């Protein structure tokens, strides 16, 4: 990605105005680590949005609000009751990348290998978008990740925050990222959010990414969990249903069928983790 | 506020500097062009760590950053770490341990370790590995680098216990 | 077992501080890219996008007029000189099948045309503006395709030839063929109680030095060409650049500064010819650095091999016959094809007693990335096969695999018919093994891994299963009668010495090791040595860093040169003391008489000899050729945990023992062992080349997996001393052998964990899972 200009707006509204005017000739720049993967024929003007106060993590009522330009390493380090975002953050790329790569940068344009969309789908997060008016737009994850989100930002709109629900008692989150080594892109990333009641699964949100063309939830797996006991046999059985929802892809020279097998085991493992969390696991 | 298109100003190893640049120039290119050649090119893609430097206290890859992203910030390179007469502690331990083979990864390792020591006060193995996971080495198998680093960190932890009582930042 | 002589060493066998460690740790200017002058032109190459094609036409007319472009090179404007890019002694045992620029491209990543420009941006723009018309040819992507009847001929150019009489049949894509026999293989098989016939495949891999290939060429004020380059072979580089540019060797100087790793991939003249040509054409300094992608695609690689082992074993544990048929894929050019396949036999077959041995080695061209020298050099690939079959033989006769190896491995004083029969491209050198601490390596390693806890796979259940595996290994130390190293050492008036050596330090620390050897011989301290190495003008000849020869070969040259200087020091010291030479000796940088009552320091001797009386420069010079290649020995052990639901492997513990004779610098020997072993571990588990139509698709560290500090298995290196009489202060080589262990160790450990025997690697989870499921179905 070649840059022809570097603009540093002083406010969010100025940023939006500049982006809107530039259109395809402009691009919001946070960490910039994704630029390496984007090729354009003509150089583009970068609009630096990292100095607009959008880097923070704070609890606001029932949500953790994470500023869009919060680096992944801050998310990796943050702890709090009902917070589980660090689990995936510490497994993304390397230290130097995590220090620069932002949550917003990871979800405004979703690359096939992205891990955060998987987690945010499972957690039923809400994306906050500045559209120029005083009231920001909030988009639920199911809607936000229904298609490539990059399209939402073509007119100059800017993602300002991600709101992640504070996990309640009896709610549990678990994720698994299977990869060849620590820094590698994921072979398959899965995440699960379970709500338990009397040992049974009351609600379930299960999602996958990286091994499929675009991250999405797995409704067949979710259906196979509701009302059942939160035990290994149930998790295994539910995981085996994933093929109905997921178009598993061949990864790194290994077959689609291997990906399916890996994904099913990973799903079961993630569900175990989520159940353990709901039952009091702390780390 | 629009900075001058063709310059960038930042604090480099403690001194405020202004350099000629272009919007498209990467910080690694600028640094090496201006004589700070301890920061190295290994991949240009943000995967090997040979270009690690410290930006506002965080270890980052100079090859991925645009020079303009450093505007008004604090940049520290290997040139700020140690001299022939007074290498920093980690450099001394690396040398004593026999951990410097081809040496190409070492400045990056030193910078990542420096960021670790300036951010954390408790150095559990798992956390240390997370801080160092972006610096590749093909010569040493990391064994002696780890031993040297652990020596320095263990000493710090011991000193810290007998010294200040500051809460551990980001531990766990 | 540590020899009593080793206990008396003052400099060697001590972990002396590496001479350049401080400058490297501080980030001082050390590598080629640190010395590029302002105004140097930047070189970029147009690489072939096709695996096999004729170039019908090249039009550089637009490119050469673009802003900042100072020169363009292509087949139409450079000499057409057939040569070999592999850095080896002359004449090379390799086909001369390469041209600076050819009218044909033979792999994705082959050279097409190059530009030199004022900026990188301009160079890339000009490369994009070069118009090429290709006539696509059917590509050859595998050994089977290369060997097929009527296979496309990759090297059909009339100039391709071999400079020495060795088998070479390019019309059949055959690069090399070497074979030998001992005893009667068929008879040996008949005698066996159990017979095996298994074929193994090994993959592509890249060395991944953190510093990519980098070269700088400049025209000196004298008009000569100075090449500063990241190379393992400065002298071969000089010779080959002279040949390909058509200029005298006298006109060229090659300098190797510090380099950021090589591991064999820089035993190649891959950039220097073009860089020097641009310098000549433009009169300006020219700089060429591969990016990481280019290093993966165009850089040299590990030869993929197919190794078939047929073997017979008797119930009493005697190995009655071994046949190794090894075929390597040398890619588009043949440089190291023969020598690598020879070493598959020569460095593996002598390890175990066997009277009936058959070896056949072949090398074939394909339209894929080019095999080069890679640490281990064919032995690595062949040990995977041999050590797997060793375990299978042990199991068949119901013997513990460790006991089976202990029974059969070569001992001190023994020879092998293979030593004489197989060299590197020529016959070998008959040899009996001198130092050999393999037996002790095995016992020490077994103790460290907990071999006594090893249980049969049939007793293992559950999702996660653990297994322990082992392998025995050997390598060589130098190539006897073929390679030569030399050194010169002169004294200064403060008792310091300038040690000038051709030998090439790739980061291994050979400068330090050789300084230690010189200091030991001279009875002074290592810190008195000023080492200067690898400069074809200033240092005497050395073949360079390969074949594990620097300590054993160059080290002995250094020792001899130091001894030569010592004689002169004694002579002058005796003169100064008014004594006979027989009455004095050297000790602690002094010349003294027997009772120490009269002594004079080296500094005073130097001052006297340089300035005062009968003045002369005390300077020692020596060369060395080795007469044998004493093997280092190693026994590797690992415990792994296999996730039988996903096929993922976790390495719990890895023990890497090594007998390298006297470890001249123990810390550096450990470092070589730790680093080489970890390299072997990722080679076995995570590294691979993924191809699409001959194009390597995962050409970055993001997609080609090597370990970081976060996920690397820890390697425990154990030095087991012996004393090699023919080596300097008892030393043998250390750097290559360790990379040979992990692939067979893990193959054996996977079997011990799950009962699955896998005959190709990397052991990716899909392969492991499929193999486990096959076992479970039985």
Could C209 and B138 be called an inter-chain contact, meaning their C-beta atoms sit closer than 8 Å? yes
CA-nearest of A86, A146, A164, A81 to A110 is A146
Q: What string of DSSP letters covers C225-264?
A: EEEEE--S-HHHHHHHHHHHHT--GGGEEEE----S--TT
pLDDT at position B160: 84
pLDDT at position A281: 66
What stretches of C506-583 adopt beta strand conformation (E)? 529-533
Q: Chain C residues with CB inside 8 Å of A261's CB?
A: 646, 769
* Neighbouring subunits of C (3+ Cβ pairs under 8 A): A, B
Residue A160 to residues A55, A68, C118, C581, C593: CA-CA distances in angstroms?
Answer: 9, 5, 43, 87, 85
CA distance B37 to chain C (A): 6
- Of C188-202, C423-437, C714-728, the range with the lowest mean pLDDT is C423-437
Q: Chain B residues with CB inside 8 Å of C668's CB?
A: 98, 101
- Of B2-6, B52-56, B93-97, C8-12, the range with the lowest mean pLDDT is B2-6
Confidence band for B167, pLDDT divided at 50, 70 and 90? low
Could B140 and C675 be called an inter-chain contact, meaning their C-beta atoms sit closer than 8 Å? yes
- Tally of CB atoms within 10 A around A60: 10
Could A255 and C702 be called an inter-chain contact, meaning their C-beta atoms sit closer than 8 Å? no
Assigned token pair, C641: 């945990």
Chosen from A40, A94, A282 to mutate, greatest number of chain B CBs within 10 A? A94
Q: Does the beta carbon of C688 lie under 8 angstroms from any beta carbon of chain A?
A: yes
Same fold, C145-152+166-205+301-430 and C434-478+629-778: yes
Among candidates C17, C208, C702 on the partner chain, residue whose Cβ is nearest the Cβ of B45: C702
Size of interface B-C (CB pairs under 8 A): 188
The CATH code belonging to domain A3-48 is 3.30.43.10
Radius of gyration of chain A (CA): 19
Q: Does the beta carbon of A37 lie under 8 angstroms from any beta carbon of chain B?
A: no
Residue A181 to residues A184, C467, C704: CA-CA distances in angstroms?
Answer: 5, 21, 10
Distance from C-alpha of C536 to C-alpha of C541, rounded to nearest angstrom = 7
Question: Does the predicted model carry a pTM greater than 0.90?
Answer: yes
* Residue C674 bridge partners (DSSP): none
* Residue A212 bridge partners (DSSP): none
Average pLDDT over residues B81-109: 98
pLDDT at position C561: 98
pLDDT at position C429: 82
Q: Does the beta carbon of B43 lie under 8 angstroms from any beta carbon of chain A?
A: no
Q: Which residue has the tokens 């939006």?
A: A16
Question: Side-chain half-sphere of C442: how many Cα atoms within 13 Å?
Answer: 19
Check: CB of residue B94 under 8 Å from CB of residue C25.
yes
pLDDT at position B2: 46
pLDDT at position B172: 35
Could B96 and C17 be called an inter-chain contact, meaning their C-beta atoms sit closer than 8 Å? yes
> Does residue A78 register a pLDDT over 50?
yes
Chosen from C203, C204, C645 to mutate, greatest number of chain A CBs within 10 A? C645
Closest-approach residue (CA) in chain B for A1? B24
Q: What are the domain boundaries of chain B?
A: 7-78, 89-162
> Does residue B164 register a pLDDT over 70?
no
Check: CB of residue C732 under 8 Å from CB of residue C660.
yes
Which phi and psi angles does C325 have, rounded to 5°?
-110, 110
* Fold (topology level) of B7-78: Ubiquitin-like (UB roll) (3.10.20)
Q: Which residue has the tokens 């993602």?
A: A159
Could A4 and B24 be called an inter-chain contact, meaning their C-beta atoms sit closer than 8 Å? yes
Among candidates B46, B134, B170 on the partner chain, residue whose Cβ is nearest the Cβ of A77: B170
pLDDT at position C362: 98
Average pLDDT over residues C330-345: 97
3-state secondary structure at position B109:
helix
pLDDT at position C27: 98
Among candidates A94, A183, A253 on the partner chain, residue whose Cβ is nearest the Cβ of C688: A253
- Of A21-25, C167-171, C590-594, the range with the lowest mean pLDDT is A21-25
Average pLDDT over residues A19-25: 94
3-state secondary structure at position C745:
helix
Distance from C-alpha of C510 to C-alpha of C512, rounded to nearest angstrom = 5
- What number of residues does chain A have? 283
CA–chain centroid gap for C591, Å, is: 41
Confidence band for C778, pLDDT divided at 50, 70 and 90? confident
Percentage of chain C lying above the pLDDT 90 cut: 97
Average pLDDT over residues C559-575: 98
Among candidates C20, C507, C665 on the partner chain, residue whose Cβ is nearest the Cβ of B139: C507
> Does residue B170 register a pLDDT over 50?
no
Q: Chain A residues with CB inside 8 Å of C699's CB?
A: none
Could A183 and C690 be called an inter-chain contact, meaning their C-beta atoms sit closer than 8 Å? no
Chosen from A74, A80, A96, A282 to mutate, greatest number of chain B CBs within 10 A? A96
Percentage of chain C lying above the pLDDT 70 cut: 100
First vs last C-alpha separation in chain C: 47
Q: Chain A residues with CB inside 8 Å of C765's CB?
A: 254, 258, 262
Could C705 and A181 be called an inter-chain contact, meaning their C-beta atoms sit closer than 8 Å? yes
Give me chain C's average pLDDT, please: 97
Class of CATH domain A171-278: alpha beta
Domain B89-162 has CATH 1.10.10.10: no
Q: What is C145-152+166-205+301-430's CATH number, 3.40.50.2020, 3.40.800.20, 3.30.70.890, 3.30.365.10?
A: 3.30.365.10
Assigned token pair, C291: 């990016």
Chosen from A87, A95, A179, A185 to mutate, greatest number of chain B CBs within 10 A? A95
pLDDT at position C528: 98
- pLDDT tens column, A117-132: 999 999 999 999 999 9
Could C259 and B82 be called an inter-chain contact, meaning their C-beta atoms sit closer than 8 Å? no
> Does residue C425 register a pLDDT over 70?
no
Class of CATH domain A57-165: alpha beta
- pLDDT tens column, C475-526: 999 999 999 999 999 999 999 999 999 999 999 999 999 999 999 999 999 9
Would you call the peptide bond into C762 cis, given omega within 30 degrees of 0 as the criterion?
A: yes
Q: What is C434-478+629-778's CATH number, 3.40.50.360, 3.30.365.10, 3.40.50.720, 3.30.70.20?
A: 3.30.365.10
Q: Which helix (H) or strand (E) holds A96?
A: helix A95-98
Q: Chain B residues with CB inside 8 Å of A181's CB?
A: none
Could A181 and C765 be called an inter-chain contact, meaning their C-beta atoms sit closer than 8 Å? no
- pLDDT tens column, B4-34: 679 999 999 999 999 999 999 999 999 999 9
- pLDDT tens column, C55-85: 999 999 999 999 999 999 999 999 999 999 9
pLDDT at position C450: 98
Check: CB of residue C83 under 8 Å from CB of residue C89.
no
pLDDT at position A1: 77
Among candidates B78, B98, B99 on the partner chain, residue whose Cβ is nearest the Cβ of C27: B78
Q: Chain B residues with CB inside 8 Å of C40's CB?
A: none
From edge to edge, which strands make up the β-sheet containing A63-67? Answer: A57-60, A63-67, A158-165, A126-130, A137-140
3-state secondary structure at position A225:
coil
Q: Which CATH architecture has domain C32-137+215-292?
A: Alpha-Beta Complex (3.90)
> Does residue B3 register a pLDDT over 60?
no
- The single-letter DSSP state of residue C550 is I
Q: Does the beta carbon of B38 lie under 8 angstroms from any beta carbon of chain A?
A: no
Q: Chain C residues with CB inside 8 Å of A180's CB?
A: 686, 705, 764
Percentage of chain B lying above the pLDDT 90 cut: 90
Could B58 and A283 be called an inter-chain contact, meaning their C-beta atoms sit closer than 8 Å? no
Among candidates C645, C711, C769 on the partner chain, residue whose Cβ is nearest the Cβ of A182: C711
Give me chain A's average pLDDT, please: 95
Closest-approach residue (CA) in chain C for B91? C25
Q: Does the beta carbon of A184 lie under 8 angstroms from any beta carbon of chain C?
A: yes
Longest dimension (CA), chain C: 89
First vs last C-alpha separation in chain A: 39
- pLDDT tens column, A31-41: 998 887 787 77
Could A33 and B133 be called an inter-chain contact, meaning their C-beta atoms sit closer than 8 Å? no
Mutual angle of helices B143-162 and C666-685, in 10-degree steps: 110
Q: Does the beta carbon of B164 lie under 8 angstroms from any beta carbon of chain A?
A: no
Could B107 and C25 be called an inter-chain contact, meaning their C-beta atoms sit closer than 8 Å? yes
CA-nearest of C374, C449, C376, C379 to C715 is C449
Could C709 and B133 be called an inter-chain contact, meaning their C-beta atoms sit closer than 8 Å? yes
Longest dimension (CA), chain B: 51
CA distance C460 to chain A (A): 20
3-state secondary structure at position B90:
helix
Among candidates A5, A32, A76 on the partner chain, residue whose Cβ is nearest the Cβ of B64: A32
Could B24 and A7 be called an inter-chain contact, meaning their C-beta atoms sit closer than 8 Å? no
Could B84 and C668 be called an inter-chain contact, meaning their C-beta atoms sit closer than 8 Å? no
CA-nearest of C46, C42, C81 to C60 is C46
Could C706 and B98 be called an inter-chain contact, meaning their C-beta atoms sit closer than 8 Å? no
The CATH code belonging to domain C6-28+484-625 is 3.30.365.10
Q: Does the beta carbon of C463 lie under 8 angstroms from any beta carbon of chain A?
A: no
Q: Which residue has the tokens 């450099």?
A: B91
Among candidates A182, A253, A266 on the partner chain, residue whose Cβ is nearest the Cβ of C710: A182
CA–chain centroid gap for C718, Å, is: 22
Check: CB of residue C524 under 8 Å from CB of residue C499.
no
Could A253 and C690 be called an inter-chain contact, meaning their C-beta atoms sit closer than 8 Å? yes
Q: Which residue has the tokens 């000089």?
A: C238
Size of interface A-C (CB pairs under 8 A): 48
Size of interface A-B (CB pairs under 8 A): 83
pLDDT at position B1: 40
Residue intervals of chain A classified under CATH 3.30.43.10 are: 3-48
Radius of gyration of chain C (CA): 27
3-state secondary structure at position C558:
helix
Among candidates A10, A90, A93 on the partner chain, residue whose Cβ is nearest the Cβ of B1: A10
CA–chain centroid gap for C776, Å, is: 40
- Of B153-162, C17-26, C44-53, C100-109, the range with the lowest mean pLDDT is B153-162
Could A181 and C766 be called an inter-chain contact, meaning their C-beta atoms sit closer than 8 Å? no
Q: Does the beta carbon of C765 lie under 8 angstroms from any beta carbon of chain A?
A: yes
């Amino acid at each position: 990605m070649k840059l022809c200009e570097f603009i540093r707006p002083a406010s969010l509204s100025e940023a939006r105005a500049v982006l809107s005017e530039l259109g395809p000739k402009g691009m919001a720049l946070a960490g910039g680590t994704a630029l390496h993967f984007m090729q354009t024929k003509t150089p583009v003007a970068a609009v630096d949005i990292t100095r607009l106060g959008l880097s923070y993590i704070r609890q606001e009522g029932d949500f953790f609000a994470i500023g869009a330009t919060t680096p992944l390493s801050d998310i990796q380090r943050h702890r709090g009751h009902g917070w589980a975002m660090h689990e995936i953050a510490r497994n993304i790329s390397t230290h130097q990348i995590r220090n620069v790569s932002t949550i917003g940068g990871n979800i405004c344009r979703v690359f096939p290998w992205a891990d955060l969309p998987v987690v945010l789908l499972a957690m039923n997060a809400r994306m906050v978008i500045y559209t120029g008016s005083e009231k920001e737009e909030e988009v639920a994850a199911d809607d936000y990740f229904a298609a490539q989100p990059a399209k939402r930002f073509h007119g100059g709109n800017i993602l300002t925050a991600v709101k992640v629900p504070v996990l309640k008692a009896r709610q549990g989150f678990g994720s698994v990222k299977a990869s060849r080594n620590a820094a590698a892109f994921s072979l398959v990333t899965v995440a699960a959010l379970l709500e338990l009641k009397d040992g049974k699964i009351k609600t379930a949100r299960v999602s996958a990414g990286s091994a499929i063309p675009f991250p999405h939830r797995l409704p067949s797996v979710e259906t196979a969990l509701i009302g059942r006991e939160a035990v290994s046999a149930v998790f295994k059985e539910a995981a085996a249903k994933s093929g109905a929802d997921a178009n598993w892809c061949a990864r790194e020279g290994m077959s689609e069928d291997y990906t399916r097998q890996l994904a099913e085991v990973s799903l079961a493992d993630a569900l175990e983790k989520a159940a353990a969390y709901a039952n009091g696991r702390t780390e | 506020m629009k900075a001058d298109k063709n310059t960038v100003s930042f604090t480099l190893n403690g001194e405020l500097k202004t350099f000629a640049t272009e919007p498209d120039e990467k910080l690694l290119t600028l640094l090496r062009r201006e004589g700070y050649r301890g920061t190295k090119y290994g991949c240009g893609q943000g995967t090997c760590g040979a270009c690690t430097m410290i930006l506002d206290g965080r270890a980052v890859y100079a090859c991925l950053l645009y020079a303009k992203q450093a505007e008004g910030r604090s940049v520290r390179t290997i040139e700020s770490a140690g001299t022939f007469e007074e290498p920093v502690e980690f450099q001394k331990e690396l040398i004593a341990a026999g951990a410097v083979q081809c040496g190409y990864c070492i400045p990056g390792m030193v910078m990542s370790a420096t960021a670790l020591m300036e951010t954390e006060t408790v150095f559990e193995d798992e956390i240390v590995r997370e801080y160092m996971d972006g610096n590749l080495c093909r010569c040493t198998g990391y064994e002696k680098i780890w031993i040297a680093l652990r020596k320095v960190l263990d000493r710090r932890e011991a000193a810290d216990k007998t010294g200040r009582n500051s809460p551990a930042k980001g531990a766990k | 077992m540590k020899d009593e002589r080793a206990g008396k060493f003052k400099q060697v066998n001590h972990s002396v501080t590496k001479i350049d460690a401080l400058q490297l740790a501080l980030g001082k200017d050390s590598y080629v890219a640190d010395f590029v002058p302002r105004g140097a032109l930047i070189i970029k190459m147009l690489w072939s996008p096709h695996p096999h094609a004729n170039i019908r036409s090249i039009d550089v007319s637009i490119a050469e007029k673009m802003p900042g472009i100072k020169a363009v090179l292509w087949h139409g404007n450079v000499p057409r000189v057939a040569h070999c890019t592999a850095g080896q002694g002359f004449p090379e045992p390799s086909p001369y099948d390469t041209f600076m620029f050819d009218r044909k491209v033979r792999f994705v990543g082959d050279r097409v045309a190059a530009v030199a420009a004022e900026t990188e941006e301009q160079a890339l723009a000009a490369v994009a503006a070069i118009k090429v018309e290709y006539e696509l040819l059917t590509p050859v992507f595998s050994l089977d395709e290369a060997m097929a009847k009527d296979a496309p001929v990759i090297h059909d150019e009339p100039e391709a030839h071999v400079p020495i009489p060795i088998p070479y049949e390019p019309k059949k894509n055959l690069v090399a063929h070497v074979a030998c026999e001992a005893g009667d293989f068929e008879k040996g098989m008949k005698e066996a109680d159990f017979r095996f016939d298994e074929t193994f495949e090994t993959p592509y891999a890249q060395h991944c030095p953190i510093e990519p290939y980098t070269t700088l060429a400049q025209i000196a004020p004298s008009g000569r060409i100075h090449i500063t380059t990241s190379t393992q072979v400065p002298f071969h580089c000089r010779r080959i650049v002279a040949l390909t540019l058509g200029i005298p060797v006298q006109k060229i100087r090659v300098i190797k500064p510090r380099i950021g790793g090589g591991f064999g991939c820089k035993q190649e003249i891959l950039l220097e010819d073009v860089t020097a040509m641009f310098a000549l054409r433009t009169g300006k300094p020219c700089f060429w650095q591969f990016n990481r992608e280019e290093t993966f695609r165009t850089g040299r690689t590990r030869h993929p091999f197919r190794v078939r082992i047929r073997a017979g074993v008797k119930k009493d544990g005697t190995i009655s016959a071994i046949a190794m048929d090894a075929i390597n894929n040398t890619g588009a050019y043949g440089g190291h094809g023969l020598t690598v396949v020879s070493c598959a036999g020569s460095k593996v077959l002598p390890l175990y007693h066997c009277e009936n041995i058959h070896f056949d080695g072949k090398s074939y061209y394909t339209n894929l990335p080019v095999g080069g020298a890679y640490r281990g050099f064919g032995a690595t690939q062949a040990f995977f096969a041999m050590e797997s079959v060793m375990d299978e033989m042990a199991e068949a006769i119901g013997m513990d695999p460790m006991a089976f190896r202990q029974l059969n491995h070569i001992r001190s004083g023994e020879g092998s018919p293979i030593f004489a029969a197989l060299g590197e491209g020529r016959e070998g050198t008959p040899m009996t093994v001198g130092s050999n601490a393999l037996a002790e390596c095995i016992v020490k390693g077994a103790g460290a891994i907990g071999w006594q806890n090893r249980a049969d796979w049939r007793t293992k259940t559950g999702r996660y299963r653990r297994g322990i595996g082992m392998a025995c290994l050997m390598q060589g130390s130098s190539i006897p009668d073929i390679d030569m190293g030399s050194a010169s050492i002169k004294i200064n008036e403060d008792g310091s010495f300038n040690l000038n050596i051709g030998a090439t330090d790739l980061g291994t620390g050979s400068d330090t090791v050789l300084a230690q050897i010189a200091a030991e011989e001279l009875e002074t301290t290592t810190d008195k040595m000023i080492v200067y190495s690898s400069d074809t003008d200033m240092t005497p000849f050395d073949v360079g860093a390969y074949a594990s020869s620097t300590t054993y070969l160059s080290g002995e040259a250094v020792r001899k040169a130091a001894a030569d200087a010592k004689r002169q020091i004694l002579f002058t010291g005796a003169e100064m003391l008014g004594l006979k030479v027989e009455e004095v000796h050297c000790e602690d940088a002094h010349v003294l008489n027997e009772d120490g009552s009269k002594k004079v320091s080296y500094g005073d001797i130097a001052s006297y000899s340089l300035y005062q009386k009968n003045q002369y420069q005390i300077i020692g010079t020596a060369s060395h050729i080795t007469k044998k290649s004493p093997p280092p020995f190693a026994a590797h052990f690992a415990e792994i945990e296999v996730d039988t639901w996903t096929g993922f492997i976790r390495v719990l513990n890895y023990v890497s023992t090594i007998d390298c004779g006297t470890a001249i610098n123990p810390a550096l020997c450990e470092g070589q062992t730790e680093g080489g072993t970890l390299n072997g571990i990722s080679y076995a588990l995570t590294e691979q080349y993924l191809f699409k139509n001959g194009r390597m698709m995962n050409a970055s560290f993001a997609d080609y997996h090597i370990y970081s500090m976060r996920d690397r298995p820890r390697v425990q290196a154990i030095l087991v001393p012996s004393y090699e009489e023919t080596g300097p202060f008892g030393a043998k080589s250390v750097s290559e052998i360790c990379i040979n262990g992990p692939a067979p160790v893990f193959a054996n450990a996977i079997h011990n964990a799950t009962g699955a025997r896998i005959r190709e690697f990397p052991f990716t989870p899909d392969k492991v899972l499929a193999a486990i499921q096959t076992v479970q179905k039985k």
